[in-house]
Structure 1
Amino acid sequence: MPVAVPRAAKTRRRTRIQAEREELILEAALEVFSAHGFRGATIDQIAEQAGMSKPNLLYYFPNKEIMHRMLIDRLLETWLAPLKRLNPEGDPLTEIRSYIRRKLEMARDFPRESRLFANEILQGAPRIPDELNDLKKLVDEKASVISGWIEHGRLARVDPYHMIFSIWATTQHYADFDVQVRAVLGAKRSGEGRFEDAARYLDQLFLGGLKP
């Protein structure tokens, strides 16, 4: 996919105000896309969220596809970083524990980005087929690392792919279903401490089951 570039970035001298406006618009677009998905989001909604007129917004971004593309590119760069950091030379349980913690931190700090990605996947990922191919290559690489740990007796015998899927499911749940989590936990347990509670539980769940 070609790299998405806002209209103002193509001018010879991009001013500080132009850069600030672009970030304001992208922030508004993230809010709208994460709530309504790509299909449900409109330029009018994004302009209203950004507090600017539609013509003004269209000067910077002529369509919602470019905004969505830029947000997805940023998201994937951030989202995949923890998996890329899984170190083949490290202690397996320590590496997996760190990966789980980083994924939970992302669920805490970037819930809208998580929902943006979830919406795209639920729609069949029509705008990110190349990115899914790249994701497969990365997961294949890390699954091979996990298989090596297993063959050397450093982890219990598990399916590396389904282990990674399980980590995604249990950590991203706290972003994608945050309203449900807080509603079920109730007022006393639904504060920021819910992520630390989740981390302790997931340590017990995964690390206990992965010990050789």
Structure 2
Amino acid sequence: MSQDNAETPESGELSAREKVLDRRRRIQAAIRDAAIDEFASKGLIGASTQAIAQRAGLTKPQLHYYISSKEELYEDILVYILDEWQELFISASTGDNPAQIIRAYIHKKLEYGQKNPKASRLFTTEIANGAPFLSRHWAEYQASTQQAVKLIQSWVDQGLIRPVDPLLFQMHIWAVTQHYADFEVQIRSFMQLSDNEELDMVRVEEEVTALFLRACGLQ
């Protein structure tokens, strides 16, 4: 074997370390998904680490190698959801104009809610209970919300959109887009959909987008 093709001890060690990190990431993702399912169905009080471990395909001692307590895991999950939503706006705000950004953000929020309805409902339940765990994280996320406020206000100042309250405009988008995840049972009932019929998200997205574009004079 030539020297060029030989694996050095350093590269072999790195490969092994990457495998360990990859396995750790996969286990952590399994724990996160299992915790969201358990907390969404039973709440913090009703959930158990034994049940979370079983959902994740782990033993309880294995689970506690990765977490210190049920409460810490619950809080970590809520922060993870906030991070996901923050990233949705950051990725959407790279658009070229207000209409494009608003469309992209609404699409991403609706899509996230349909793909992660339990995460959305878990977050909503925490808020409905007074945000006992999330309240200590508000400052960080209020800062990112204020960045969005400045962006929307800049559109108003430049005459790109009709004057709107930038903060309320954001919160109204959150409320409407999350509604289709948090209240899906009610929506399906009013739309007279059977259990095996899919919600027409194209129709929903078009109507929601039109609603907010009209609000700022872009349609």
Q: TM-score, normalised by structure 2?
A: 0.78
- Tell me whether 193-202 or 84-93 shows the greater mean CA deviation: 84-93
Give yes or no for the alignment of 1:77 onto 2:83.
yes
- Tell me whether 124-133 or 86-95 shows the greater mean CA deviation: 86-95
Could you say which residue in structure 2 is the equivalent of 1:180? 186
- The CA deviation string for residues 109-133 of structure 1, in whole angstroms up to 9 with x for no partner, is 1111111211221222222234211
- What is the Cα deviation at residue 26 of structure 1? 2.7
More relative contact order in 1 or in 2 (CA 8 Å, sep 6+)? 1
Distance 1:153 1:17, change over 3 A: closer
For 2:206, give the aligned amino acid: R
Whether the 8 Å CA contact 1:111–1:176 is kept in 2: the answer is yes
Q: Mind listing any 5+ residue stretches in structure 1 that lack a counterpart?
A: 1-12
Distance 1:58 1:168, change over 3 A: same
Distance 1:150 1:33, change over 3 A: same
Could you say which residue in structure 1 is the equivalent of 2:38? 32
Could you say which residue in structure 2 is the equivalent of 1:103? 109
For 1:143, give the aligned amino acid: V
Structure 1 Cα separation of the partners of residues 184 and 114 of structure 2: 9
3-state SS of 1:211 partner: coil
Could you say which residue in structure 2 is the equivalent of 1:6? none
3-state SS of 1:90 partner: coil
Which of 173, 186, 196 aligns to 2:202? It is: 196
Q: TM-score, normalised by structure 1?
A: 0.80
Give yes or no for the alignment of 1:87 onto 2:93.
yes
Distance 1:75 1:202, change over 3 A: same
User: What is the number of equivalent residue pairs in this alignment?
Assistant: 200
Q: What is the aligned-residue identity percentage?
A: 31
- What is the Cα deviation at residue 75 of structure 1? 1.8
- What is the Cα deviation at residue 207 of structure 1? 1.0
Give yes or no for the alignment of 1:113 onto 2:119.
yes
CA RMSD across the alignment: 2.7
3-state SS of 1:80 partner: helix
Structure 1 Cα separation of the partners of residues 137 and 44 of structure 2: 17
Distance 1:44 1:158, change over 3 A: same
Structure 1 Cα separation of the partners of residues 59 and 138 of structure 2: 35
Structure 2 Cα separation of the partners of residues 189 and 151 of structure 1: 47
- Tell me whether 121-130 or 172-181 shows the greater mean CA deviation: 121-130
